Structure 1
Amino acid sequence: MADKNNHVHEGDDQQQITLIDDKGNEELYQVLFTFDSEDYGKSYVLLYPESASDDEEVDIQAFSFTPDENGDASSGNLYPIEDDDEWDMVEEVLNTFLADEDEDGE
């Protein structure tokens, strides 16, 4: 099987997205990484709160998105992931990414 991370692109310091909750509150998020899925024919973005510190556990948000002309998620449209199998795939990519980060950090 091919490396599942060959379409993972780590976020850079410039990629930030503002999310607005149901109450109209805005929160700035940093792009953790984006990736493409051939199985679902979509691009995905994983985000974490900009205010999170390095030593705290964070709630990572995941969305499918329509990339802008540069392939970025920062100005495209975000869509919720509603399919359980699709969520499982996203979680698997995230877990692989986090495992690779742990190896790089040691």
Structure 2
Amino acid sequence: MAEQEHLHPGDDEQLITLIDDKGNEELYQVLFTFDSEDYDKSYVLLYPQSASDDEEVEIQAFSFTPDENGDASQGDLYPIEDDDEWAMVEEVLNTFLADDDAE
């Protein structure tokens, strides 16, 4: 399981453009990044920049290769294809959201 001290909340400057299968581009903001020692990977969770605060959004998750500053917006994104890996990412997200609600 990823350790919580490895969570790095996104800031306003970390934006990533995703391109769908039809070539449509959408700008996403980094929610947070974290590292998993179990999988020896870094992960980034994104949400659409256009989403309003009261809107329910679909969060996108990828593993990524960070740049020299650990920035996700400059590295390569990779799909998460393993079910156990997805379960770990969802657990980290749920913990992050529960901690955010508690504040």
Work out whether the TM-score is over 0.5: yes
Q: CA deviation at 1:5?
A: 1.0
5 Å-filtered alignment, 1:1-106, equals 4-104=3-103
Instruction: Write the deviation string for residues 57-80 of structure 1: whole angstroms up to 9, x where unpaired.
Output: 000000000001100100100000
2:64 partner letter: F
Identity of aligned residues (%): 83
1:81 partner letter: I
Alpha-carbon distance between aligned partners in 2 of 1:86 and 1:35, rounded to the nearest angstrom: 13
- Structure 1: runs of 5 or more not aligned: none
Alpha-carbon distance between aligned partners in 2 of 1:4 and 1:73, rounded to the nearest angstrom: 18
Q: CA deviation at 1:4?
A: 2.8
Alpha-carbon distance between aligned partners in 1 of 2:2 and 2:80, rounded to the nearest angstrom: 23
Q: CA deviation at 1:3?
A: 8.2
Alpha-carbon distance between aligned partners in 2 of 1:77 and 1:103, rounded to the nearest angstrom: 33
1:25 partner letter: N
> What's the RMSD between the two structures over aligned residues?
1.3
Tell me which stretches of 4 or more aligned residues in structure 1 moved more than 4 Å: none
TM-score of the pair, normalised by structure 1: 0.95
TM-score of the pair, normalised by structure 2: 0.97
Q: CA deviation at 1:29?
A: 0.0
